[in-house]
Amino acid sequence: MLTEMLILFAVSSAIITACTMGSIFRYSDKSVVFAYFFLFGLSAVMLSFFISAFFSRAKTAVAVGTLSFLGAYVPYYTVNDPAVPLVWKMMASLLSPTAFALGTVNFADYERAHVGLRWTNVWQASSGVNFLVCLLMMVLDMFLYCSLGLYFDKILSREDGVWHTWNFLVTRILWIRDKTFANNTGRLDDKQHNEVPGIKKRWTGQVVCEPAIEAISLDMKQQELDGRCIQVRNLHKVYMTREGKHCAVNSLEVTLYENQILALLGHNGAGKSTTISMLAGLLPPTSGDALVFGKNITTNMYTTITFPYLSCLLEDSLYVVCYL
């Protein structure tokens, strides 16, 4: 997705540069014009991503996002004055549309002087605006919006009940230190694998009876070592409801081997669909983890597996077989 987006904006910026090189930006360096539009396009996408993190409905996000994007130009009319200090212009440039608009001041001044903006003079201020600062602020905005968007997307509540606490970054770092999954080797750590000898302590702290587990063969054991199976360890899923926490999957432990068929049996609400959704990477687990043929479901699931819909959302005639 990131590669496609970069290619899309690179092509769009090149087309804009080609269309304006003989008229609007006649004297400016074409690479400067390209970088100007390219960085603004990326920062605009990141701004849209940041705004979308606050909404769960697409129509609401589009309406509010459009108004917010247009409103982000308003500070330009306040700081576009040579008497305004540079620090205030930098503060206003935290909104990428304002940084983009301030850059037009430099283009206008240098084009009017038949000099044009070039990499040798982008650091020279004109009309109280420094074009290099505008470019750097758009780069900063791009990373800032992306970071904030990812953060708020994690902590804000969702309809499916998936969210984290505001300090999840700190707890996540502490948890990673003690994590026993060997992602690079494509198999689970022996300590984690042998954690369930016969009696298992569940999420609620209660002790349950011994599970009926068939002894595995040497070939199955070799599949685990080679990462040619699906290993699920302590997979747990909790939804937040109005009544409180609802446990959909309670510390699931199972290993699925090649040439076998999986059947999940249970009543409505037993967690069958939730389990499949977590294994397919559609839902993040509350705790625990799983390896699908050596691919971790929380990090690199989409490199090997996808989840086809009954019909393609983009093309009506494209069904499951064609999709695969």
111: nearest Cα among 221, 33, 178? 33
Task: Give the Cα separation of 278 and 123 in Å (integer).
Answer: 51
C-alpha gyration radius of the chain: 27
- Pick 162 or 8 by higher pLDDT: 8
Residue 101 has pLDDT above 90, yes or no: yes
Q: Which two tokens stand for residue 322?
A: 């064609």
Q: Is the dihedral angle over the CA atoms 154, 158, 162, 163 positive or is it negative?
A: positive
On whether the CB atoms of residues 127 and 82 are closer than 8 A, the answer is: yes
Q: What share of the chain is helix, strand, coil (3-state, %, to 5)?
A: 45, 15, 40
- Pick 283 or 10 by higher pLDDT: 10
Q: What is the per-residue pLDDT for 260?
A: 82
What does the DSSP 8-state code read for residue 302?
Answer: G
pTM for the full model?
0.60
Residue 297 has pLDDT above 60, yes or no: yes
pLDDT digits (tens, 9 = 90+) for 230-273: 888 888 888 877 777 888 888 888 888 888 887 888 888 888 88
On whether the CB atoms of residues 266 and 239 are closer than 8 A, the answer is: no
CA dihedral 34, 37, 43, 46 (to 10 degrees): -100
Confidence of residue 290 (pLDDT cuts 50, 70, 90): confident
Helices 2-20, 30-52: crossing angle, 10 deg rounding: 140
Task: Give 87-156 as a DSSP string.
Answer: HHHHHHTTSHHHHHHHHHHHHHHHHHTT----TTTTTS-BTTB-HHHHHHHHHHHHHHHHHHHHHHHHHS
Q: Note every long-range contact of 5-10, with CB atoms under 8 Å and residues 24 or more positions apart, other chains counting.
A: 5/42, 5/45, 6/42, 9/38, 9/41, 9/42, 9/45, 10/38
**Domains (ranges, CATH) in the chain?**
2-155 (no CATH), 180-303 (3.40.50)
Confidence of residue 45 (pLDDT cuts 50, 70, 90): very high
pLDDT digits (tens, 9 = 90+) for 140-197: 999 999 999 988 887 876 655 556 677 767 766 665 555 544 444 445 554 444 443 3
